[in-house]
């Protein structure tokens, strides 16, 4: 192990820091417990100083220096995580100031409105008095009336509520996921309840404005709307523009990784910049060329939204090219560990982000096993080596990440290999055409051939993926033990391959086999079978669940509908009841939505329901009429305006 730690000096600090953050977050301990490894480090440091005078003792102390480093970085991880822990403030307390203000960190456009993550700075009364500072508190705001750019400062009326699992979905665990990100409160703000204090005019604000301008250029460049949305996701990191249906197609095909600005994109763009700066070599400025590539890559990362996977790739490229500039030795794995350490220093809770975990595990698998998998004399031909490298990269990425993919997303594509083998070699060409199209359109020069290539390319891609993935997605529900054992086995296997320890390889095989066995021995909790009538004012939405699969049925407001879900006959009363008398028959559940004008007695006589549900789309006066009729008739009804979504599940969700 000592040889490994000396070869990769950033590995031990990164691992120890991650352990410190994980222990601090999951166990809820703070700076007091961080003193334990800190005291250990102090004792080891004192012992080292005492041993310096005696060479024989100093030689014996050498192995303990790694424990000193590990303890120091573990304590640092605990301290930084505790320092960034959200403040303990109850926003539902009546005596708090009226306004809350802070800085917008993240903006996303969702189907139910615009969503913002705001880092709060303080609370204040309308007259500016009672200014109460807040520390490390991030909240979730949703609004359908307006949206602010990231890094702008906003103010809104305090109506924050504790985040709870949305009863529209079987998504137990969403609250804990947001809590690990430091987000505990949420609020829906309407027009007039929030205002901008000052727009963002710094460097990041200008990058956000440039990204918005680039999106406008793409949308007006003559390409189709789906293609523009795909390019905005592919080039600019704005995944809100791509339709959920297209995202699902990419996920089912096993190529959703191309939608996130990551090492693949950074590598392609850095290679393009490196190629364009080739004339600098003739001028004898090779190091200046490397520095220019680093600067351009970081500008692109800032322009695309500073996604963690992009930051990771940019840090690795900076370390590698920086080594060339400083004439220092570098390794890809050491650069990967340094990137992880750097990101966690500034965002310790990023350790629990699924995107960051998948990004580092995929790249780690490629670094640990890629060179050995492609080391063969038969791969000397460039074409053969390129094809085999793409094939091996796809296999290793899935080999390293399948357990986490199953844990977070509960699905696995069986056609990922052929799809990646076709898409990945063509993606650089498509990106080059897209960049050329964006550049020329920015100067007002339209290019029909680039528009045709981009539209046809995206059309062929989405239709091809939709065709080959039909029925080729396997649903996997695994518990937390599966990815933990798999990652431990991967670490042992990587150590065995690089240190040439056979016993470690045998142990790795046993751990990996145990991880696979836990898929059947300790499966994860599937969604309960049944259905949910969702709380939605725009339409009647019923989500059904069977063996972990979700199916959504949607009916427009005012239309009568009949459906049979999970053995239950469901009728939706609408404005056109009289035109569909064949639907008016006995049913298990009657959903009365907006548009139905028939009184309750006639509806009961027509449908003969066993249970009546009043949908949230009903206007207040109509709801009051139906509730009054039900009370007089002694009929029990479920009012979704009070209960929210109505769940009919085989077992209660926690």
Give the end of a domain, one of 292, 320, 347.
347
* Residue 252 domain-assigned (yes or no): no
* Residue 457: pLDDT band with limits 50, 70, 90: very high
Q: Is the pLDDT of residue 536 over 80?
A: yes
Give the end of a domain, one of 173, 198, 223.
198
* Residue 298: pLDDT band with limits 50, 70, 90: very high
What does the pLDDT read at residue 654?
43
* Residue 613 domain-assigned (yes or no): yes
What does the pLDDT read at residue 343?
92
* Residue 283 domain-assigned (yes or no): yes
Q: Which helix (H) or strand (E) holds 161?
A: strand 161-162
Cβ neighbour number for residue 449 with a 10 Å cutoff: 9
pTM of the model: 0.84
Question: In Å, what is the CA distance from 573 to each residue of 291, 353, 554, 570, 624?
Answer: 67, 44, 14, 10, 17
Q: Residue 329 and residue 322: Cα distance in Å, rounded?
A: 10
What does the pLDDT read at residue 57?
62
Same domain, 534 and 645: yes
Mean pLDDT, residues 365-386 = 69
Q: Residue 446 and residue 602: Cα distance in Å, rounded?
A: 63
Q: Which residue has the higher pLDDT, 98 or 582?
A: 98
Least confident of 95-99, 245-249, 528-532: 95-99
Q: Is the pLDDT of residue 509 over 80?
A: yes
Ramachandran region of residue 130, left (φ > 0), alpha (ψ -120 to 50) or beta? left
Same domain, 127 and 181: yes
* Residue 522 domain-assigned (yes or no): no
The pair of three-digit structure tokens given for residue 620, joined into one six-digit string: 């207040």
Same domain, 636 and 566: yes
Q: Residue 541 and residue 577: Cα distance in Å, rounded?
A: 19
What does the pLDDT read at residue 652?
47
* Residue 510: pLDDT band with limits 50, 70, 90: very high
What does the pLDDT read at residue 514?
95
Sorted by sequence, the CB contacts under 8 Å of residue 403 that are 6+ apart come out as 478, 482, 483, 486, 487, 515
Instruction: Please state whether beta strands 561-565 and 549-556 pair in parallel, antiparallel, or not at all (unpaired).
Output: unpaired
The pair of three-digit structure tokens given for residue 624, joined into one six-digit string: 């009051």
What does the pLDDT read at residue 307?
84
The pair of three-digit structure tokens given for residue 654, joined into one six-digit string: 């926690």
* Residue 580: pLDDT band with limits 50, 70, 90: low
Instruction: Please state whether beta strands 609-614 and 637-639 pair in parallel, antiparallel, or not at all (unpaired).
Output: parallel
How many independent structural domains does the chain possess? 4
Q: Is the pLDDT of residue 377 over 60?
A: no
Same domain, 547 and 621: yes
Same domain, 50 and 149: no
Which candidate, 391, 266, 269, places its Cα nearest to that of 316? 266
* Residue 324: pLDDT band with limits 50, 70, 90: confident
Same domain, 115 and 7: no
Tens of pLDDT, residue by residue over 616-626, are 888 889 899 99
Q: What is the CATH number of the domain that holds 171?
A: 2.40.50
Same domain, 547 and 638: yes
- Domain hosting residue 627, numbered range: 530-649
Q: Is the pLDDT of residue 383 over 70?
A: no
Give the end of a domain, one of 322, 347, 372.
347
What does the pLDDT read at residue 653?
44
Tens of pLDDT, residue by residue over 411-442, are 888 888 888 888 888 888 999 999 999 888 88
Same domain, 578 and 643: yes
Same domain, 536 and 595: yes
* Residue 396 domain-assigned (yes or no): no
Same domain, 546 and 597: yes
Q: Is the pLDDT of residue 487 over 90?
A: yes
Tens of pLDDT, residue by residue over 339-373, are 999 999 988 988 988 888 988 999 998 888 877 65
Q: Residue 406 and residue 482: Cα distance in Å, rounded?
A: 9
Q: Residue 406 and residue 477: Cα distance in Å, rounded?
A: 6
Same domain, 71 and 133: no
* Residue 386 domain-assigned (yes or no): no
What does the pLDDT read at residue 381?
66
Q: Is the pLDDT of residue 546 over 80?
A: yes
Same domain, 644 and 535: yes
What does the pLDDT read at residue 376?
58
Q: Which residues pair with 207 in a beta bridge?
A: none
Mean pLDDT, the chain, as a whole number?
83
Least confident of 194-208, 210-224, 245-259, 426-440: 194-208
């Amino acid at each position: 192990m000592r040889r490994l730690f000396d070869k990769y000096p950033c590995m031990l600090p990164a691992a120890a820091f991650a352990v410190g953050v994980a222990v601090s977050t999951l166990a809820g301990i703070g700076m007091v417990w961080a003193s334990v490894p800190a005291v250990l480090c102090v004792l080891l440091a004192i012992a080292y100083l005492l041993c310096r005078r005696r060479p024989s003792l100093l030689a014996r102390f050498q192995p303990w220096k790694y424990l000193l480093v590990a303890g120091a970085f573990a304590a640092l991880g605990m301290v930084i995580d505790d320092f960034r822990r959200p403040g303990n403030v109850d926003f539902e307390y009546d005596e708090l100031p009226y306004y809350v203000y802070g800085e917008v960190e993240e903006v996303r456009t969702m189907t139910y409105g615009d969503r913002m993550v705001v880092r709060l700075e303080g609370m204040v009364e309308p007259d500016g008095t009672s200014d109460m500072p807040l520390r490390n508190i991030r909240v979730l705001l949703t609004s359908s009336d307006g949206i602010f750019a990231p890094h702008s400062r906003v103010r809104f009326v305090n109506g924050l509520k504790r985040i709870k699992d949305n009863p529209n979905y079987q998504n137990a665990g969403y609250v804990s996921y947001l809590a690990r990100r430091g987000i505990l409160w949420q609020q829906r703000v309407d027009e007039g309840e929030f205002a901008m204090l000052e727009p963002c005019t710094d460097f990041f604000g200008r990058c956000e404005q440039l990204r918005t301008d680039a999106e406008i250029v793409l949308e007006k460049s003559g390409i189709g709307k789906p293609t523009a949305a795909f390019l905005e996701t592919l080039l600019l990191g704005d995944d809100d523009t791509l339709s959920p249906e297209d995202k699902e197609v990419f996920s089912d095909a096993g190529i959703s990784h191309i939608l996130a600005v990551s090492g693949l994109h950074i590598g392609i763009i850095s290679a393009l910049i490196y190629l364009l700066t080739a004339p600098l070599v003739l001028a004898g400025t090779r190091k200046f060329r490397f520095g220019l590539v680093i600067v351009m890559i970081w500008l692109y990362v800032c322009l695309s939204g500073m996604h963690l996977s992009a930051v990771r790739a940019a840090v690795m490229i900076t370390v590698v090219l920086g080594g060339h500039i400083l004439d220092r030795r570098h390794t890809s794995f050491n650069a990967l560990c340094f990137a992880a350490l750097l990101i966690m220093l500034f965002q310790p809770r990023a350790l629990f982000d699924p995107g960051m975990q998948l990004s580092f595990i995929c790249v780690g698998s490629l670094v640990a096993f890629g060179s050995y998998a492609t080391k063969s004399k038969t791969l000397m031909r460039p074409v053969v080596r390129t094809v085999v490298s793409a094939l091996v990269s796809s296999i290793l990425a899935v080999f390293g990440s399948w357990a986490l993919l199953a844990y977070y997303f509960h699905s696995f594509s069986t056609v990922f290999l052929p799809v990646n083998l076709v898409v990945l070699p063509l993606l650089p060409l498509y990106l080059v055409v897209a960049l050329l199209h964006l550049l020329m359109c920015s100067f007002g020069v339209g290019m029909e051939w680039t528009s045709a290539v981009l539209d046809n390319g995206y059309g062929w891609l989405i239709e091809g993926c939709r065709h080959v993935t039909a029925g080729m997605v396997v649903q996997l529900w695994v518990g937390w033990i599966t990815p933990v054992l798999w990652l431990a086995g991967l670490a042992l296997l990587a150590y065995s391959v690089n240190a040439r320890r056979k016993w470690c390889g045998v142990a790795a095989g046993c751990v990996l086999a145990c991880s696979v066995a836990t898929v059947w021995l300790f499966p994860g909790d599937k969604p309960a079978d049944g259905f949910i009538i969702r709380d939605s004012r725009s339409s009647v939405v019923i989500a059904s669940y069977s063996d972990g699969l979700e199916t959504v049925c949607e009916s427009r407001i005012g239309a009568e509908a009949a459906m049979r879900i999970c053995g239950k006959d469901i009728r939706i009363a609408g404005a056109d009841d009289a035109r569909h008398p064949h639907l008016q028959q006995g049913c298990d559940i009657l959903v009365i939505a907006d548009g139905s004008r028939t009184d309750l007695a006639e509806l009961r006589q027509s449908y003969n329901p066993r249970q009546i549900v009043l949908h949230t789309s009903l206007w207040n006066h109509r709801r009051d009429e139906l509730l009054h009729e039900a009370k007089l008739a002694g009929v029990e009804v479920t009012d979704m305006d009070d209960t929210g979504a109505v769940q009919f599940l085989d077992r209660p969700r926690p």
